[in-house]
Amino acid sequence: MIDLDEQNRIIEIDKSNQLEILEKWSSLFKEARENSLKFVIPENVSEPSNIVICGMGGSAIAGDYLISLLKSEIKIPVLVNRDYYLPSFCNKSTLVICVSYSGNTEETLSCFKDAHTKNTMMITISSGGLLEKLSKKTNVPHIKIREGIPPRTGLPLIYTSLLTILEKLKLIEDMSKDFEETEKILTELSTKYSPDKKTEVNFAKEIAYGLYNKLPLFVGHTIYSPLPYRAKSELNENSKVVAISEVVPEQNHNGIVAWDNPNVVLNNVAVILFRDKNEPKPIGIRMEQLKEIVKQKTEKVLELYPQGESKLAKQISLTYLIDLTSIYLAVLYGVDPSITPSIDNLKRVLKKKLNLQDTIEKELV
């Protein structure tokens, strides 16, 4: 097994310096906040009756974070749409926000075209690509974010942009203090979990060792509902491993029963519970009971608690820890976290057999 305290080995394997990008998350939040505050909501985008956020992968997950964060605050329906087409209810009172870090995600481009057909209100977010080009050609307001980083590391850029849009639409209260706290905590954590910090004082490295050659099972709840899926996705893409995502209370109605089988060995499953000292009472009871059940079958049970006071800081502090862990775990496996051969190959096949991007561009330009 590779020693995570050998920085030269980390540099050798993490060829695109994803650890370095993650260490800059604080500045990415600040940059995105300053950038999106300059964005002017056009007159034809006002008082939506519902919002549909279209995206895939690392772009879509920001919408999930937003919904879980604002569930008790925002008064209109907000939906994340991971598909080629919009829901049938979308109309001129719907605000469709198309998000693609690269600007070339074909499902998102297809939704962009569908939104034009349905005459919805629209805003787009990307680092460039065809989405930016089509937005300019069709006079759709566009927020351009920093380019040149792996899409999954762009969460601060997209999430901040989405939240600021809702602020400007006066759908939520001002979040400036929440962003300031989040940036401060990320600055502290970037030092705490840095590659130059030894494993014995680096929790992210310690978790990575604990997940090595294990099947990770992540469980979240409430504002942490998107975190298990984010963790699963980061381990899939960065570490190239299988992982499982669950959310309480739903998990208590199905997934919990898997631990009842007396003939299945589960000691290779590592259970990671996203907790909060201020959990709602029903959730706290459920999480405690789940912990006791899984501990009967596996010793590998870890509870992770957030840092900060605001809900945003809490979400992001745990996300940052897990994202870093996924890179350290990739290093342990000796795999480059940046490359995604299967995705790249699938895109080539889709371009050859479908070539949807060119079709959409010809129809809209």
Catalytic sites, residue numbers? 237, 253, 347
Q: Which residues make Cβ contacts (< 8 Å) with residue 295, sequence separation at least 6?
A: 301
Cα–Cα–Cα angle for 199, 204, 210, rounded to 5 degrees: 80
Strand-strand pairing, 215-220 and 121-126: unpaired
Q: 25: which 2 tokens?
A: 């998350």
Cα–Cα nearest to 267, from 316, 226, 314, 300: 300
CA 240 to chain centre: 17
Cβ atoms < 10 Å from Cβ of 163: 23
Distances (CA, A) of 351 to 258, 293, 312, 344: 40, 47, 38, 11
Three-state DSSP at 220 gives: strand
Q: Are 272 and 139 in contact (CB under 8 A)?
A: no
Is the dihedral angle over the CA atoms 29, 32, 34, 37 positive or is it negative?
negative
Three-state DSSP at 143 gives: strand
Return d(Cα 153, Cα 233) in angstroms, integer: 12
Instruction: Give the residue carrying structure tokens 């080009």.
Output: 133
Largest pairwise CA distance in the chain = 63
